[in-house]
Amino acid sequence: MLELKQMSCGYGAFSAVHGLSLVLRPGTITGLLGANGAGKSSTLMCVAGHVGLQGGQLLFDGQDIGRMPATERVRKGIAISPEGRRLFKDLTVEDNLRVGGVIHPASWYQQDRDRVLSLFPRLAERLTSLAGNLSGGEQQMLAIGRALMTRPRLIMIDELSLGLMPKVIDLCYQALHKLRDEGMTVLLVEQNTERTLSIADDVCVLESGQSVWRGSAADARNDPSLTAAYLGLH
């Protein structure tokens, strides 16, 4: 699966992440936690190929993907639901899903779309709505659905629950459970520490672009120094 080896990335001369090492186990959910500006989004965007790698290695199934164009990484099975969701707001829900599936033969569309709609039945009721008219929760489902249309093996989701109502967050987390049951590997960035610790198998905590803690979510929950110092839990 995915392995980050001493990965550094950033913007021009500015380095947002320095020497991050992380191994994602197949079929598990890894939670990436940390305060605003810690480098979580930059990490995801670097893996996706949208933020420049400055040092170290990115391995996917053992292959070095660090210099591979973003579209090639999608073909390899890496998808992202980015911060801010970046939907095509003037297109319908259905057309956003079509855009997600565009790298695959048209004959795959129906099956992949049906899979997304069974995961998020709410979207089935909104297929002809413009994405810009959806609620925040529906937009989040669509962003994840659009990423799933690429048939990924790794899905990275940035700020899953930010600004969403608890009921909608529940629906999104149920979907994550299902995806993991199907064997999907998930890299999850969250502000919501408690939710993350409740679903994640593994956890990595970033501070100022560096990893300050890595381990199982169970160990993270039981480490009082960690929960108090970095995770805002007491």
Q: Partners of 155 in the beta sheet?
A: 79, 186
206 closest CA partner among 219, 224, 193: 193
C-beta closer to ligand ATP: residue 138 or 190: 190
Question: Nearest approach, Cβ of 197 to ligand ATP (angstroms)?
Answer: 17
Question: Nearest approach, Cβ of 117 to ligand ATP (angstroms)?
Answer: 30
Question: Nearest approach, Cβ of 38 to ligand ATP (angstroms)?
Answer: 4
Helices (H), the chain: 40-48, 70-76, 93-100, 109-119, 121-124, 136-148, 166-181, 193-199, 217-221, 224-229
C-beta closer to ligand ATP: residue 39 or 101: 39
* DSSP codes of every residue in 34-47: -STTSSHHHHHHHH
C-beta closer to ligand ATP: residue 38 or 188: 38
Question: Nearest approach, Cβ of 147 to ligand ATP (angstroms)?
Answer: 18
In the three-class reduction of DSSP (H, G, I as helix; E, B as strand; rest coil), residue 84 is classed as: coil
φ, ψ (nearest 5 deg) of residue 165: -75, 150
The residues binding ligand ATP (CB under 6 A) are 11, 14, 16, 34, 36-42, 83
Question: Nearest approach, Cβ of 230 to ligand ATP (angstroms)?
Answer: 12
In the three-class reduction of DSSP (H, G, I as helix; E, B as strand; rest coil), residue 81 is classed as: strand
C-beta closer to ligand ATP: residue 31 or 34: 34
C-beta closer to ligand ATP: residue 17 or 78: 17
